[in-house]
Amino acid sequence: MDASSVTRVMHAAALAEELHTGQLRPDGRPYVTHVLEVAQRVLVWCPDADVDALTTALLHDAVEDQAERLAQKGSSVATAPRQRALDVVAGLFGRTVVERLELLTNPDFDSLARERFGAIAGADLAQRKAQLYMEHVAHAVHTDPWVAAIKLADFSTNAWQLDGVGDPARREKLRDKYRPVMRLFRDLLDDLEAGHPLFAVRQSLRQQLGEVWADQYAG
């Protein structure tokens, strides 16, 4: 990676730190540690990751979590905060990063569920939202190989560590949410073709996923 690319990645890291200031992880650590962990995993798994991939990894939660803060850095006239935020990213880092962030950013599942399925609530709403989450992840990881690598890195920092969730009810809820996506990534790793960013580490990741499945998801 040349000097200009390194500078660009450092710019993305500094922006992520600024945007996530005050946001905490469930264990109380600054949220930016999660962002850095995801980028680090992408780089470890995919040593040939380019500037767009690493920039996207560093900003993967920026639009979803901090759209208003990000939008304030530009002069977009778009109505929706997320679109204004994406316009800022486009100006700073280009269209490839924007397109990947669009795939990585969760939509408003409450609104989407009601739009698609009508007036529902309670268990029905939760089930439909889980279905929409699964569809969203599947679309993202099959659309762009680098999105698949970033999403698995993100997913692994959450879904592979459920034993750290202290509340049993929340842990079970997350297990139900993540179980179908665990299967999705298992199948994805099984079917990777040469040239995919994760191809060289597919066996190691498949083994890790299997161990996590046996430990936290089986049964």
pLDDT tens string 108-134: 887 887 888 767 777 777 888 888 999
**Structural domain spans, the chain:** 3-105+144-217
Contacts of 188-192 spanning 24+ positions with Cβ under 8 A = 188/141, 188/142, 188/148, 188/152
Residue 86 makes CB contacts below 8 A (sequence gap 6+) with 63, 98, 101, 102
pLDDT digits (tens, 9 = 90+) for 181-209: 999 999 999 999 999 999 999 999 999 99
Q: Cα(72)–Cα(88) distance, rounded to whole angstroms?
A: 9
- Residue 103 pLDDT: 98
pLDDT-derived band at 219 (thresholds 50, 70, 90) equals low
The domain made up of 3-105+144-217 is a member of CATH 3.40.50.720: no
